[in-house]
Structure 1
Amino acid sequence: MNKLSTEKRRMVVSMLVEGNSLRSITRMTGVHRTTVMKLLSDLGAACSNYQAKVFRNLPCKRIHCDEIWSFVGAKGKNASAEKKAEGWGDAWTWVALCADTKLVPCWHVGGRDAGFAWDFMQDLAARLANRVQLTTDGHRAYLDAVEEAFGTEINYAMLVKQYGATSDKSPERKYSPAECTGAKKVDITGKPDKKHVSTSYVERQNLTMRMGMRRFTRLTNSFSKKLENHEHAIALHYMHYNFCRIHQTLRVTPAMEAGVSNHVWSLEEVVALLD
């Protein structure tokens, strides 16, 4: 069986992390779509395993958490029970981001209920070396999850945003977010510093996800058809974001700022994780 050269792999991966669809990559490179999909699957799993291994005892001080919505196969309201059993429906990605280093130490894909919040917070707590200040949005599933994962060894606050009602009934209205009229900072555990109670950085990272992964683009047919492929694309995205992409503010990659890496990774190094 023919095997892609390292240069061809690098070319395909560069297009994947820049938000190209599978079929557009096939048209530009001549690599068959199933081969591109196989490369994404294998490399995504390798990236997930590598980051799970090296992101331990992280020196983070301030963590922002948020969830970003997408779907697999069909939106939850349109997926049949049989398809939901296969993984179709709404897919929420829970994301943690270090406000100082901009590193994304962990993420979790699934539903938006308390069980997934618990899994996400347990994973986050296992990666941190110090007591941190944590900020989440007002999603109530975080409350028990944070308490069970950290106990009292955390300074935790919620940023509860308030949205105004609108009388606009035009067709364009559904494509615009509701107007945020204010935000309330609520102390939950410990003594969080009010001036650092924010989710701005992780919300900006969510925008980077939507721009960097074709599967997160709204109102298109480029959504994931399998949950596993969705997870692999996210793992590759964060490998590139954490290790390869120089942050404009930091002037280094998030992994370098966090002390996890001592250089900017090339895509050839990322591809080498397959070996």
Structure 2
Amino acid sequence: MIVKTYSVTAKDAVTRYSPAAVVAVSREVMLGDPEQYVSTSYVERQNLSLRIGSGRFTRLTNGLSNKLDNHIAAVALYVAHYNLCRTHEALRTTPAKAIGVADRAWSIARLVDAALAVAPLLPTETPPDRRRKFTVIEGGRA
């Protein structure tokens, strides 16, 4: 495996779309005998599907998450939909049904019900230094 280390670049408009400079390259030996054929094409295809299917991974978007918990939940929901609900063209079924995890394709309603069943009931408390305090201003007609 070849591991490349990149330099940190400025985030100005000139270098935003330019690749960073490679400062170090190292090689690591990967050992093992996988049972199935392994290719980076599978990983690259999954990364592309995730980037296209979820707007949170596109460049310069406003669909980002301000909290890591929200980002994790959005990615988990996308992956669950991809595997349980979406019928794939090559498989002609969902991946979960193809490998025997699910007996049939899930509907969106079933996915939402399952997601809400494990969701916390109350929001998590943010630290006091990050909490925004709002003040109600009394005004209007007397």
Q: What TM-score range do you get, normalising by the shorter chain?
A: 0.5 to 0.7
**Is there any run of 5+ residues in structure 1 with no aligned partner, and where?**
1-137, 139-159, 163-170, 179-185
Report if the CA contact (8 A) 2:55-2:61 is conserved.
no
Structure ranking higher in helix proportion: 1
Letter in 2 for 1:198: S
Shift of 1:189: 2.6
| Aligned counterpart, 1:208 | 49
Structure ranking higher in strand proportion: 1
Among 17, 32, 41, the residue aligned to 1:190: 32
Shift of 1:212: 1.4
Letter in 2 for 1:246: T
| Aligned counterpart, 1:175 | 17
Letter in 1 for 2:66: K
Shift of 1:245: 0.5
Relative contact order, higher structure (CA 8 A, sep 6+): 1
Distance change in 2, residues 1:236/1:251 (3 Å): same
Among 96, 110, 122, the residue aligned to 1:269: 110
Report if the CA contact (8 A) 2:56-2:63 is conserved.
yes
Moved over 2 A (4+): 171-178, 186-193
Report if the CA contact (8 A) 2:84-2:97 is conserved.
yes
Aligned-residue sequence identity (percent) comes to 50
Indicate the SS of the match to 2:30.
strand
Structure 2: how far apart are the matches of 1:247 and 1:187? Answer: 35
**Equivalences for 1:7-18 in 2 at 5 Å?**
none
Structure 1: how far apart are the matches of 2:95 and 2:45? Answer: 15
TM-score, normalisation: structure 2: 0.59
| Aligned counterpart, 2:123 | none
